[in-house]
Structure 1
């Protein structure tokens, strides 16, 4: 074949292959629009802001072909109904703390924070490397949902109280807003737990409908104004050594996505974890200083109270592990992981952090 004839043939072939390839690429990256219900008011610029960040990351990764629109709590469904909205297909995706749904199954608490459970690094390690997320998704499958971990708040505070907590008896009759499974533990000690979404806490505390409330930590608590209506600020939030959020997707909608769109959600969710957790570590310290300067009274829970809560929690866990298969599997898995992890964190993280905290007063 002459060179001129060869170029004619290959030129036609190249044009034909280009004509086929362009539509094929377009078909593999369809334009998709999802609605994203969240459990957070817009005022919480780290939790809700993290959801906005996630949406932008997905759009950037997919060249704006895959658009996810976030909605604050109450805009589509109330903040505590996100799981139901995703499960029944009202929205394709949601962002929430799965322990809000412990009433459906107490095992949901493991996805967010088991009282006296893991810290932030241990929790994400257990979920990703200790089989925890597989167990969470086994539970979510029963609700037609698939989940991926997103941001964590880090260890939380113990909340705002109108009066001091000096003994276990001070918990009796106390009406407290507290999220997740921790309310069950406090109820055993005489507390009256209330589960309220973030935007509903301040009005209830202001009106005296509740006597105490926990939310997240200094930065968000300052934004929500709790110090104006309750002056005692307690630590630690023993019910949340971390607070792990999740993106949850309707399984049918998830399975219908192209694989690279699924990968975009996965990558953006992991990136959002760093964004949210890193931001909380940056903003909580100065917020705590401001709260104290403006009159908040910082108190540690008495050892007696912590030990009573700890012992009560373990009694409840033992009973649930016998009657609830999901809870039993997750508790056994997390306990084994924690027991293996704690000696290492004691040698490395705890010893380093303790030394640096002591030295801070000398420099």
Structure 2
């Protein structure tokens, strides 16, 4: 009888411990502060909101995300460092903002003149050896690349005609930092680097003639065509990879299933982003055409001129071992896809 009481007490103690453990486990164990440069009303902002909500649902509330939109904590270009130093936990902007840190970030942010579709670019990351090369770069700066979101080719917004190479002469436009400035300078334009959040005011005041902001649907969401009555579509010059990247120490401390949930959620939104923008961009073009915005499609000759200028600039910008390795990886994969000829 004494033995049965002892066993019963032990079992009861184990049950209580397990119940307590389960209760504690069910509580949020990962809290993430994530900043994006997108406004919540843009398509990309809404997709990120869906990503955050999916993460919380799939984790049964164990992952609690506090989002910050429109670069409301720090400037867009400062988001990466804010996450790396603990002011934030994760960065939902893009690697292209970090080219001043290492030009290698250009080739995980926006290779320019390279891939033609989101699927091609994503296939390099996940199946062309890109993820391993990119992860090494992110880890060097205390960050972990969780995943990419590639929404497709971007279009310009301009207060002046932007129908081909000739129109680039003396065209002042907002450019993100990095290789884009070199490419467009070669083609006669005047790129001006400024924060994403300053574009609307700069267009309105005439500081710039146009802007490389996002794709045509997001540009509509930002209100750029309320001022700029010229655009190009389909886009061609830029297909940036938005990223979700987190402080590596924070990432490493997360339970394995939390990390898996985050990676899965980003992959899901990456697919949805590529699909939804096919529809949103077409809707935006119809809307803008009806409103009198002039939309130009560049000629094959002008597109070839741009692509040649872009590809000639890749090696000029590959000035670090990490950048050279990424360019070599991209070129090898682009040749495999038949986009870059031998």
User: How does the TM-score come out when normalised to structure 1?
Assistant: 0.84
Give distance in 1, aligned partners of 2:105 and 2:306.
Answer: 20
Give distance in 2, aligned partners of 1:267 and 1:311.
Answer: 36
Native 8 Å contact 1:217 1:284 kept in 2: yes
**Partner in structure 2 of residue 35 of structure 1:** 33
* Residue 326 (1) aligns with residue 322 (2): yes
Higher mean C-alpha deviation, range 287-296 or range 255-264:
255-264
What secondary structure does 1:183 align onto?
A: helix
Give 5+ residue unaligned stretches, structure 1.
344-363
Alignment of 1:173-252 (within 5 A): 173-180=170-177, 181-240=179-238, 242-252=239-249
Displacement after TM superposition at 1:13 (Å): 5.0
Displacement after TM superposition at 1:167 (Å): 6.0
Higher mean C-alpha deviation, range 302-311 or range 134-143:
302-311
Higher mean C-alpha deviation, range 333-342 or range 307-316:
307-316
Native 8 Å contact 1:101 1:108 kept in 2: yes
Are residues 256 and 167 of structure 1, via their aligned partners in 2, closer, same or farther at CA, if it must alter by over 3 Å?
Answer: closer
Displacement after TM superposition at 1:283 (Å): 1.9
* Residue 338 (1) aligns with residue 338 (2): no
| Residue of 289, 295, 299 corresponding to 1:298 | 295
Give 5+ residue unaligned stretches, structure 2.
none
Are residues 292 and 106 of structure 1, via their aligned partners in 2, closer, same or farther at CA, if it must alter by over 3 Å?
Answer: same
Native 8 Å contact 2:149 2:269 kept in 1: yes
Alignment of 1:243-322 (within 5 A): 243-321=240-318
Give distance in 2, aligned partners of 1:121 and 1:194.
Answer: 30
Aligned pairs, how many? 336
Give distance in 2, aligned partners of 1:73 and 1:227.
Answer: 19
User: How does the TM-score come out when normalised to structure 2?
Assistant: 0.89
What secondary structure does 1:146 align onto?
A: strand
Are residues 38 and 311 of structure 1, via their aligned partners in 2, closer, same or farther at CA, if it must alter by over 3 Å?
Answer: same
| Residue of 77, 83, 87 corresponding to 1:86 | 83
**Partner in structure 2 of residue 352 of structure 1:** none
Native 8 Å contact 2:215 2:235 kept in 1: no
Give distance in 1, aligned partners of 2:164 and 2:284.
Answer: 28
* Residue 123 (1) aligns with residue 121 (2): yes
Give distance in 1, aligned partners of 2:303 and 2:275.
Answer: 28
Displacement after TM superposition at 1:220 (Å): 1.5
Report the RMSD for the aligned CA atoms in angstroms.
2.5
Native 8 Å contact 1:168 1:304 kept in 2: no
What secondary structure does 1:42 align onto?
A: coil
Alignment of 1:59-78 (within 5 A): 59-78=56-75
**Partner in structure 2 of residue 355 of structure 1:** none
Displacement after TM superposition at 1:217 (Å): 2.4
Question: Any idea what the Cα deviations from partners look like across 1:180-232, whole Å, max 9, x if unmatched?
Answer: 53222001223221233443212211211001112222322222222232222
**Partner in structure 1 of residue 98 of structure 2:** 101
Q: Larger Rg: 1 or 2?
A: 1
What secondary structure does 1:247 align onto?
A: strand
Displacement after TM superposition at 1:176 (Å): 0.8
Question: Any idea what the Cα deviations from partners look like across 1:61-91, whole Å, max 9, x if unmatched?
Answer: 2221220110012321122221111121111
Native 8 Å contact 1:151 1:275 kept in 2: no
Higher mean C-alpha deviation, range 289-298 or range 267-276:
267-276
Alignment of 1:341-356 (within 5 A): 341-342=337-338
